[in-house]
Structure 1
Amino acid sequence: MALETRKPGTGRSPDVNRELAGLDALELAAGARRSPLSRLWSAVWPMLVAVAIALGAWELVVLSGWKEPWVLPGPRDVLPEFWNVVTDGRFWDAVGLTMQRAVIGFAVATAIGVLIGAVVSRSMILRRAFGSLITGLQTMPSIAWFPLAILLFQLSESAILFVVVLGAAPSIANGLITGVDYTPPILLRAGKVMGLRGLGLYRHLIIPASLPSFVAGLKQGWAFAWRSLMAGELLVIIGDTQSVGTLLHFARELSDTERMISVMIVILIIGILVDQLFALADRTLRNRWGLNTD
């Protein structure tokens, strides 16, 4: 009987190696056949279908006569007003102010959340002392902070920033703590054997290993920050400044339902666009880790 030769160091026969190489080539060829336009369309068409379904359901509710048209107008009445809103230069000034508040608040919340998460995750005493408190702050409704924020800072930018940070920082801290908890112990031991200690251990091992949970925490933190900001802009009206929240507030006060729903659609669109940025970061991370099968 002929002896089967094996490639040194692999434990596999040449036939098996050729078959595996052929499978790899087929997989690479399948991925290479997809053009950038095809990838874009595959990402966009589910969203277009979802929008069509939402508009259809909305129109059916209006046609059912559940509410009067002046209370709940249909897409045919709202979409022209939506176009008027987004083509108004003053509206984009309001969006600019809102996004400026969102970016500053989220950046401060990220810095505080990372600091708290890094400290608490590596100390069992601090974990027992503050772990439940961080989770409690995360579950606390952001709007409950506004009476205290207004008392401390009056009707000011600081009051809005205060609530945005308190809404987002606990989620970011918990995301980092969870990522550290799920770092494989063998990696920690290997890092210590290689001489990693203190900040070096965090920078080169723990933070990269906890990135999936940390990115999830950032995404959830942004969601809390965005909701806190919208609540703040509805409650804290600062002089004659115009923001997305104040536009929504005055549309409600004037019973301008078409404009109110138009501004709500803009808020939804901004949330979706930011979510796509986090999805891009997640896909990039999965690609680097070899977890993306698309």
Structure 2
Amino acid sequence: MATDLGTAERTITGLDALDLADRTATPRGARVWAAAWPKVLALGLAVGLWQVVVWSGWRPEYILPAPATVAAALVDLVRTGGFWSSVVNTAGRALSGYSIAIAIGLVLGVAVARIRVLRAAIGSMITALQTMPSIAWFPLAIVLFQLSEQAILFVVVLGAAPSIANGVIAGVDYVPPLLLRAGRNIGARGWRLYRYVIGPASLPHIVSGLKQGWAFCWRSLMAGELLVIIPGRPAVGTSLEQHRGLSEYPEMMADMIVILVIGLLVDAVFGAADRAVRTRWGITENR
């Protein structure tokens, strides 16, 4: 058993080495530019459209500021110490809630996927929870935990965990029966079957579920920081609401850009993980 699995792992490692050799044949600068220019073009088009709308006079410029005005406000915002405290607090909440959601989602997903009674009992409930808007949980969260960190964490976990669980369930469901039989024939049983067969085969769906779970986590967190303002705990969402209340619209839009950029950076991490999984599976070529 151990010998067979070791041989398989060495074979995969050898294939990865061949993939790496193919990757290094293409200049790194060309690969970076090929990945970057569509994003730069999309950004330029978005900023250009924004400027055209401002020039059209659809709304007064003090309500809908120009890109240059917002860019100046963003620079000023980044230079303040309170900005980084807000980013750190928001990132800490996101990591805490997302980590708990991963633990719950993975355990729940595996249990529901492998236990028929459990699937019949709560399988559809997980999907129902996933489709429920996160904002709808806040009245209950505030009743249970008052205006506190726990209220925000409660909604973040409820927003992210069902998506992660559904990703695990889909991954386990789509493992080919032939692959399971092959694993059992070489002696994979119990946790070894999950470690060497079901886990790797489910990985594309699991990564997709993790990515979707992060999206729900981030949306839930921003909604929470808009609604639950905790004194002495600055946050990006809280800053957004405060600037709106003070009619500081350039600063408000600068906060929105910060939220967007953080989301894009995390999405890039998941994108890299997804490409690595697809490459390992031979679904896409390295570029």
TM-score (norm 1): 0.88
Alignment-mate amino acid for residue 53 of structure 1: L
Match of 2:235? 243
Structure ranking higher in helix proportion: 2
Please tell me the residue identity of whatever aligns with 1:144: A
1:146 corresponds in structure 2 to 138
Partner of 2:255: 263
The answer to whether residue 51 in structure 2 is matched with residue 59 in structure 1 is yes
Q: In the alignment, does 2:81 pair up with 1:89?
A: yes
Map 1:13-162; keep pairs closer than 5 Å.
Answer: 32-162=24-154
Taking only aligned residues, the RMSD between alpha carbons, in angstroms, comes to 1.6
Aligned-pair CA distance for 1:285: 1.3
Cα displacement (A) at 1:193: 2.1
Alpha-carbon separation, structure 2, partners of 1:220 and 1:33:
34
Q: Percent identity?
A: 57
Q: CA deviation at 1:194?
A: 2.4
Any idea what the Cα deviations from partners look like across 1:126-178, whole Å, max 9, x if unmatched?
A: 11211110000000000100010111111111111100000000000000000
Alpha-carbon distance in structure 1 between the residues aligned to 2:22 and 2:151: 54
* Contiguous gaps of at least 5 residues in structure 1: 1-26
2:193 to 187, 197, 201: 201
For this pair of structures, how many residues does the alignment match? 268
Q: TM-score, normalised by structure 2?
A: 0.90
Q: Deviations over 1:40-95 (max 9, x none)?
A: 11111111111100000001111111111111111121111111112222201110
Matching residue of 2:4: none
Q: Does 1:288 align with 2:250?
A: no
CA deviation after TM superposition for structure 1 residue 100, in Å: 0.5
Tell me which of the two structures has the higher relative contact order, counting C-alpha pairs closer than 8 angstroms and 6 or more residues apart.
Answer: 2
CA distance in 1, matches of 2:153, 2:186: 42
Question: What is the distance in 1 between the residues matched to 2:44 and 2:63?
Answer: 22
Specify the code of the residue in structure 1 equivalent to 2:202.
S
**CA distance in 2 between partners of 1:28 and 1:235 (Å):** 48
Residue 30 of structure 1: how far off its partner (Å): 8.0
- Relative distance call for 1:289 and 1:252 in structure 2 (3 A) is same
Structure 1 residue corresponding to 2:167, chosen from 175, 190, 194: 175
Paired AA for residue 73 in structure 1:
P
Alignment partners' CA distance in 2, 1:236 and 1:170:
23
Of 56-65 and 109-118, deviating more is 56-65
Match of 1:164 in 2: 156
Which AA in structure 2 matches 1:198?
A: G
Query: Greater CA deviation, 247-256 or 82-91?
Result: 82-91
Task: Give the ranges of 4+ consecutive aligned residues of structure 1 lying more than 3 Å apart after TM superposition.
Answer: 27-33
